[in-house]
Structure formats: structure tokens, C-alpha cells
Amino acid sequence: MTGFSPPRLTVGAVSSGAGKTLLCTILGRLFTSQGYSVQPFKSGPDYIDPSYHTVACGNISRNLDTKLIGENQIRELFCRQARNADISLIEGVMGLFDGAGGLEERGSTAHLAKILNSPAVLLIDVSAMARSAGAIALGYQEFDPDLNLAGFILNKVASSRHEGMVRSAIEARTGLPVLGAIPRDKDLLMPERHLGLIPAWEGDRILSFLDRNTEKLKAALDMEALLRIARGASPFPSYEKTLFITEMEKDIRIAYALDEAFHFYYQDNLDLLENRGAELVPFSPLNDRTLPEDIQGIYIGGGYPELLAKQLAANSSMRSEIQAAAGKGLPIWGECGGLMYLMEELVDFEGNLYPMTGVFPGKVVMKKNLRALGYYEGKLRAGSWMGNKGDIITGHVFHWSQLENLPDKTSFQLELVKEDRTVLTDGLCFRNTWAGYMHVHLAGCERVMNNFLNICRGYKNGQKKGL
């Protein structure tokens, strides 16, 4: 498809922690307050940053991960949402050129911007520098000539004098404009916990945070110049629609966990399941006593079961229902937090032990240090609805817990290999229940999606054989 060039702007940074989420969230809120329809996106596998975008813009933020999704599919997913917006804002990940490896651009903000033919602005934390910011800006400008770097935004500026020195150094050496200067202000720090920022939907304090700081950033940013850059984006690259072609009639019902404990889902995953014939029915493992009626599958995504383990344990009715459903062969898919809930027991950060659903024997224990992080290729060790033995599944892993007290006969379903050749084991299977730490994006794993839908249809048709 060609002939479409939506206004778009990619926000990158020199490094992680430079303030990209704050900037994108406030930008989205500012443009929205001016009457524009803003469609937010997030580069990479993050679940939490998009929640801030969604609250600020009123449109659900989408993940675009060039390591997990092919270029053609990236463009299709982007245009599917950008068509209905006045401007699209794309928040980067880590530093502008940081991707899957030291010599690998896939997964990086720059790679995504090039795939989308999007102009980019670079956020620089200048709190401990002055003229040196010019050298940093120049290096980023020249590092990849194929990237359309349109300007810079300064963060943590100490004073007007400090801003003037940095601005002149950058503009003189690069010839590109400084499009804003955000002051150093402790009120602009966003709340965090072990998995990153606190999800925006956890309380009204996020809206209060946005209300308190939007005017500060409005005065610090050249909104007209940023809008002009977005509208001046080059023509959008051609692509072929392969994901969302014809919507299938809804013929199965899949319940998916959605509450404070479980809410890490790529929105496009949910959309794809619906497009391929699934009616998605939300339920709360925290608050609902029973599963939804007449379902042919369950999807339990990631989240924070470790922080709400006491409440999850107290809902013994739901725990028993899920255990019974797994025993009957109802297809269940658990990702990360979903895996934790499907274990027999969970030990939280304080050492408290709580019963979970008990679909899998053993316990999951929270640790003080990160246990695994990054992109992995998973090779299936055995056949299941997830795929055939030897099939390769690419996904992202990020967790602070580990499985313990597993039976000696436990057989992990996946061998995970990272770019640096780190090898992990993952994936448990019981009848039609499959759970693991690895998150997948269905736009890059259509085979897995179709397998899950087919096993759910098979269950509906009375084919309740265990795997």
C-alpha cells in the first residue's frame, strides 16, 4: 500500500532514564489538549510506558518491536492506527541506537524510525555537561546518515544560562535546532518499582502528576516546531497488508485475565485474536469468583501477581476453577505473571508463601535481583499446541522470579538462546495448559496464534485429548 503519509514523530534519547516516557506522555497530553487526535506507540517490548501514553492521549498505545516483528508487519500495524490520528508519537527504547546487540540495529529506536520513515528528535540529559553536549549531539547526528534526525530536546537544564551554553554548542556543531529545554525539577520524576515505572492505570495520582507538570513542559517545548516536523515527514514506505485482511466470524470465546494483577498485553495481540475469530471475555482472578461461562480457552498475561499474591490466594474459588479447567483439558496460555499464577505456590519479596492455582507443581520465588532480561530464540523440545518439536519461537524475557521445588520429572518445553549465547530453559506443559516466562508478539508469531486458536476450536468441538 502506498500514497499515505501520516504526521509522525519519533522520540529517542541518548540513554535509558533520560526522560523519554515523561516527554512523550506530556507531548501527547499537550497535543490532545489542543484538539488533535494523538496515536501513541512504543518501540520495544515494554508494557508500562504505553499505559502512560494511553492515559495521556485517550488512544491505546501500541508496541512496535523490530526484533519481534517483521518490517512489513510493523508498517501495517502502524498505519492501521495512524490512519485515524492527526499525529502519531513514537517513544523510543533505551538509547537511540541500542538494539538487540552491539552490532545489531534490530530492536532499536533508530531502526524503527527508519522502517517508518519517521523524523526523530533526540532527548539529551544535560544535567552534568555544557559544551560537551555539542559533541554528543554531533556524534548522534553522524552515526547513521540514513536516520532523519530533525532536532534535539534538552532535559534537566539547571538555568537559563546553562540552557544557552548547551543550545549554542549543539546548534553550532550540528546545524539542527534545539526544540525544547526541560528544567531540572524533582517533581518531574516518575514513580518506579522493580519492573520499571508504576503502571498508569493504578491510580489517579498519575493523572495528578500529568496535570501538575503539563504546563511546565508546555512552556519548555516548541510545540509548533515539533508539529511542523511531524507534518513534514517523508512519504510513508509501501507495504502489503498480511495481518488484518478479513475479520473472521466469532466462533470461540477466550477468557483473558485483566485486573491490577494481570494487565501486560500487547494490544495488537488482543486485536489479532479477535480478528481471527475469538471473542475475548475479560475476567479478574482477584475479584471474580468464577470463570466466564461457555469459554474455550484462557489467556493469562503478565503483570504483578507477586504484589497481589495475598489477594489472589484469598480467592480460592477462582484458583480451584482454573485448576479444574486445566485438568479437563481447557486450553490455557500463561505468560510470565500467568506462569506464576499457574504454579502451586508463590513466595513474595518478603518471603511470604501463598497458594496459587496448582496447575503446575512447585513454587515460584521472587528474588532481589533480575533473573533474566532480553530477546531470546526458543527452540521447542517437545510437541504441543505451541508447535512441533524443533520449531523456533522468538520472544522477550524479563523477570525477577525463579521456579523452585519442581518434581524431578519436570520437562521444560523451550530451550532459550540469547544473542550472547546465554542459554535458559523455559515453558511448562500440562494437557492443554502451556505457560512460560517468554512474551511473544503475535504479529511475529502467527503460527503460535493460529495453533492456540485451533486448540481452542478443537476443545469446543469436543476434541479434549491431552497433549
Q: Distance (Å, rounded) from C-alpha 128 to C-alpha 157?
A: 9
> Are 342 and 359 within 8 A, CB to CB?
yes
> Are 24 and 153 within 8 A, CB to CB?
no
CB burial string 140-151: b at 16+ within 10 A, e below: bbeebeebbbbb
Residues contacting 131, CB < 8 A, separation 6+? 165, 166, 169
Q: Distance (Å, rounded) from C-alpha 72 to C-alpha 82?
A: 15
Which CB contacts under 8 angstroms, 24+ apart, belong to 138-147? 138/173, 138/174, 140/14, 140/96, 140/97, 141/174, 141/176, 143/97, 144/97, 144/110, 144/114, 146/114, 147/110, 147/113, 147/114, 147/120
Q: How far is CA 147 from the centre of its chain?
A: 23
What φ, ψ does residue 176 adopt, rounded to 5°? -105, 155
Q: Distance (Å, rounded) from C-alpha 256 to C-alpha 228?
A: 41
From 24, 57, 79, 336, the catalytic residue: 336
336 is catalytic: yes
Residues in the chain, overall count: 467
Sign of CA dihedral 132, 133, 134, 137: positive
Residue with cell 552515526: 143
> Are 362 and 377 within 8 A, CB to CB?
no
Edge-to-edge strand list for the sheet holding 178-183: 62-64, 38-43, 87-91, 8-13, 120-125, 149-157, 178-183
Residue with cell 537511540: 96
Just list the catalytic residues: 336
